Amino acid sequence: MHLDEIVVVALTALSSVAFLLLIAMGLAIVFGMMRIINLAHGEFLMLGAFTSVQVARWGFGFWLGVVAAPLVVGAFGLLVERLLIRFLYERPLEAILATWGLGLIIVQSVQNLYGPLTEGIPSPVGSVRIGSFFISQYSFVLIGFAVALLIAVYWLFMYTRYGVMARAASQLADIATTIGVNSGRMNMLTFGLGAAITGLGGALIAPLVGVVPTMGAGFVAQAFMTVVTGGPLIVSGTIASGALLGITNSLVSYFATAFLGQAALLIIAIIVLRLCPDGISSGWRGSL
């Protein structure tokens, strides 16, 4: 391999890792902090993508759609938590069934509004030449957003008052309540935060995929594999699993086919969970 090809392969791998982190971080927060298996996670991604599509239709451009998506999906997440999720914290099986049904309702509602056809958003940036190869500048955008998101989530949960109360509410709810922490409110805000980050991820991947009401089903499995393989630590575990799965998928797809890349991702996830049933970060120190 020549140097330019090595650079392109490395950038493609980093972009694949960033992609996984963006679609999985919201789920990692909801599952890691609240132990809720949200099977409507893919539909939340889809709502973020369609928000960016709608904002672009109104003529405000892609980047305003990226700003609007987490606000819209985050607000929707707060509503879902208040009307549905808060009754299911101690009922995991019912939560799985309820969020699955919610996902079906969201898909049908969006399909009624937009129809079954695929929407597209052109890439907001061009491409750059590296030797004899061309690579989209949007890859750098994805990598930058993923890094910024990880730093922001870590800072939020480790160094803010909200983060301390949210972790207390999720880990020691009874004790947190006795010292004045409103666990119900913290859970609502945490679920809304996870939904907002998922909406952001959906908007950011919109230029790379076909935006269609059923698109969530294509990403929810990847997001769950990333989160479950990562283990109990939300940030460091998700980074580790995202890096492992993303690089594996990217390299196999580059040297073989995209189908084999997806198969390799699944195989690696199975091997990791066989060796570390609680995930990569199960034996690590730290709270995030």
From 12, 28, 14, select the one nearest 229 (Cα to Cα).
28
- Cα separation, 284 vs 237, whole angstroms: 9
Residue whose pair of structure tokens reads 């099977």 in the numeric block = 39
Looking at residue 281, what is its pLDDT?
85
pTM of the predicted model, to two decimals? 0.92
Residue whose pair of structure tokens reads 């999906």 in the numeric block = 73
- Cα separation, 1 vs 17, whole angstroms: 22
Looking at residue 117, what is its pLDDT?
77
- Cα separation, 69 vs 119, whole angstroms: 16
**What domains, with CATH codes, occur in the chain?**
3-283 (1.10.3470)
Phi, psi for 276 (deg, rounded to 5): -130, 85
Number of CB atoms found within 10 A of residue 258's CB: 11
Looking at residue 257, what is its pLDDT?
86
Residues contacting residue 259 through CB under 8 Å, at least 6 positions apart: none
Element (H, E) at 279: none
What is the residue-level pLDDT of the chain in tens, covering all 288 positions? 677 788 888 888 999 999 999 999 999 999 888 888 899 999 999 999 999 999 988 989 899 999 999 999 999 999 999 999 989 888 888 999 999 999 999 999 999 988 887 777 888 888 888 877 778 888 899 999 999 999 999 999 989 988 888 888 777 777 777 777 788 888 899 999 999 999 999 999 999 888 899 999 888 989 999 999 998 888 889 999 999 999 998 889 888 888 888 888 889 989 998 888 888 888 787 678
Distance (Å) of CA 108 to CA 45, 145, 212, 229, 240: 15, 30, 11, 31, 35
- Cα separation, 45 vs 23, whole angstroms: 7
Looking at residue 256, what is its pLDDT?
85
Distance (Å) of CA 128 to CA 34, 136, 139, 155: 42, 6, 10, 33
Give percent above pLDDT 70 in the chain. Answer: 98
